[in-house]
Amino acid sequence: ENYKVHPNPFNTEITIDIGFLEEKEFRLYNPIGELVLSGVLNSQISIIDLSSLAPNVYILNIENQSIRLIKTK
């Protein structure tokens, strides 16, 4: 699968486009591998609020695809 995530780097939220209508689980990890957020994407395009996260590099995992995200101040 090829999921689109934007913007990257992000400030407050990300938009995830999974390309079709099917439920997908997502997980977001911090740089030391701790799970900071998880949930289910239940529409083709989902907006995830990440404003509470500290500026850092995060790894978004959807199914078997990992995407490196950078949160700015």
CB atoms within 10 A of CB 8: 13
State how far the Cα of 15 lies from the Cα of 25, in Å rounded to an integer: 15
Given this model, what pLDDT does residue 34 score? 97
Given this model, what pLDDT does residue 2 score? 78
Which of the four pLDDT bands, split at 50, 70 and 90, describes residue 1?
low
User: What pLDDT, in 10s, does the model give residues 16-52?
Assistant: 999 887 899 999 999 999 999 999 999 999 999 999 9
User: What pLDDT, in 10s, does the model give residues 56-65?
Assistant: 999 999 988 9
In contact, 5 and 69? CB cutoff 8 Å: yes
